[in-house]
Structure 1
Amino acid sequence: MRPPARPRAAGTARPRPEPEAAEVETLRPRPGRARGGARDEPAPARPPRRAGTTSRPAQEPQVAVVPAGRDDVVSDRLADRLAERTAMARHRFWRRLGWTVAALAAAAALVWGAFFSPLLALDADQVRVSGEGTTVDAGEVRDAVTAHAGVPLPRLDTVGLREQILAMNAVKDVHIARAWPDGLDVVLTSREPVAAVPQSGGEHALMDADGVQVATVREVPDGLPAIRVSLSDGAAGHRALDAALQVLGALPRTLAGEISTVSAATQDDVRTTLSDGRVIRWGSGDEVELKIRVAETLLEAEPSARTIDVSSPALPVTN
């Protein structure tokens, strides 16, 4: 007899037994037409299982196991890397500091050598003065320059030295250039007199083309014409003198060397007398270059003419 069945608790179901392999194969749907006329797709074929092999379970994720003492090794390596980086940073810092100090020292040496050392100091024997002409005292100019001997050329005040030389008599312009490493070139432009103006006491004032008095002499130098003009008329006399000097300053060297005297009663009546007695009437100092070309042409074309009037250069007159 079967033992009586044990009562089940409410809400529980009896577990079904697992089907056998043969039953599974029986229960698997076969290819063919299913209910409703639709054909079932054939199930993918499984690869044949080799004899003697068993199915392997799915591989589980591997977990690295850190052996004992591994943390200490990692810490030591990190400490070594940190120390290495610190040492490299310290090395870069000291290297940059060294280069900076070296550059500053080189700059300081360069400044000292250029501005304070005797390497570039002005040597009095290396001072060259030229262009003094006939009226500038070259010795006075040289003394003014050599007074700065021993001063390094970069520190030499050439602007102040130029003003000092320009204040000297008969100096019209001056150019100062440093001649490295220890010399100085001074090129002068002198005021050359073009006429002598009689003064009281029998003296003559040597005047340049700009009307600047460059010297005072007792005797008129050879080849320099004397201007006969009355300065007692005040402004009118000075205007007449300026007109005469303007004409004389524009004359070429060949023609100026033939002039013996110059007279200017007014600023519009400038006359020059040549060494052979011929007279050229220039009028005023206007259009003086055109007047000079006309006068030179007439002097060659009419050598017998005693008076050449070019006061109106477009209508010259000779007699």
Structure 2
Amino acid sequence: MTAERFSERSRAERRRRYFRVALGVLVVAALGALAWMVWFSSVLAVRDVEVSGRTTLKQAQVLRVAQVPQGRPLARVDVGAIEQRVSGLDRVDTVEVGRSWPHTISISIVERKSVVWARVDGQIRGIDRNGIAFRSYGSPPKGLLEATIDVTDARDRLQTAESLASVVTLIGRKDPGLREQVESVTASSKDSIELKLTKGRTVVWGSRDDGGRKLQVLTPLLRLEASRYDVSAPDQPTTTP
């Protein structure tokens, strides 16, 4: 009986060992088939491209620049390269490209928005929050302030335009009443921003720093009769008759 039980246990152990080996082979084969299907077959290949978020850009324009490889396995599509190509469009602020399984590449765009407009080389150009003159207009766009940026160096001009756009955005968001009084903005550097108000008044704003504090100081200051209000140093504001 002892020999028979030993023999039976040995056979059972061999069967379990064979089962484990067979199961391992099946798992490896399944993983290999799955990897082949995802990375090399046409089962999960690109068939569609979805573009969202565009307002002025045409879908055909985005698709032409994106150059999404139709028929390539979705897992092997270089989404970073697509993002880089689409972000090269003048009107694109940000872009995010992703995979929507099983067959779709999604391109989500946020277009630039004009904050102010300025005359650049004889053209009316919209300037976005980053100071980039990204589009042209046939005539001054309604609802936007004219900006005069008296800076020749390209890098300094970009920084100045960005600071100016930041100030205009802040005023529009925090103090709509003041925004209605602003007729135009000027800057000769990123630290020399001025607001031209109604009734011939001027606000010397200075840099973009301490914007919230400058608004707090300017509100009561504007109640005083003056032609020039200086809040560039908000803790020491001054007025000029």
Is TM more than 0.5 here? yes
Structure 1 residue 282, shift from structure 2 partner: 0.8
Alignment of 1:171 onto 2:95: no
Structure 1 residue 192, shift from structure 2 partner: 2.3
Structure 1 residue 261, shift from structure 2 partner: 1.6
What TM-score do the two structures reach when normalised by structure 1?
0.58
The match for 1:290 among 210, 213, 228 is 213
Q: What letter is aligned with 2:128?
A: D
Between the two proteins, the alignment pairs up a number of residues equal to 236
The match for 1:120 among 44, 57, 67 is 44
User: Whose Rg is larger?
Assistant: 1
Q: Which residue of 2 aligns with 1:226?
A: 146
The match for 2:125 among 183, 186, 205 is 205
CA distance in 2, matches of 1:267, 1:145: 35
Aligned residues of 2:67 and 2:82 also touching (Cα < 8 A): no
Instruction: Pick the structure with more strand per residue.
Output: 2
Q: Deviations over 1:66-109 (max 9, x none)?
A: xxxxxxxxxxxx8x999978866765564444323322221122
Q: Which runs of 5+ in 1 are unaligned?
A: 1-77
Q: Which runs of 5+ in 2 are unaligned?
A: none
SS of residue paired to 2:205: strand
> Mapping of 1:1-319 within 5 angstroms?
91=15, 94-124=18-48, 127-130=50-53, 132=54, 139-145=60-66, 147-200=68-121, 202-232=122-152, 241=161, 243-253=163-173, 254=176, 256=179, 259-274=182-197, 278-296=201-219, 298=221, 302=223, 307-317=228-238
What TM-score do the two structures reach when normalised by structure 2?
0.73
Aligned residues of 1:208 and 1:249 also touching (Cα < 8 A): no
Structure 1 residue 267, shift from structure 2 partner: 4.7
Aligned residues of 1:223 and 1:257 also touching (Cα < 8 A): no
Give the structure, 1 or 2, with the largest relative contact order (CA under 8 Å, sep 6 or more): 2
CA distance in 2, matches of 1:212, 1:171: 11
CA distance in 1, matches of 2:12, 2:201: 99
Q: What letter is aligned with 1:291?
A: K
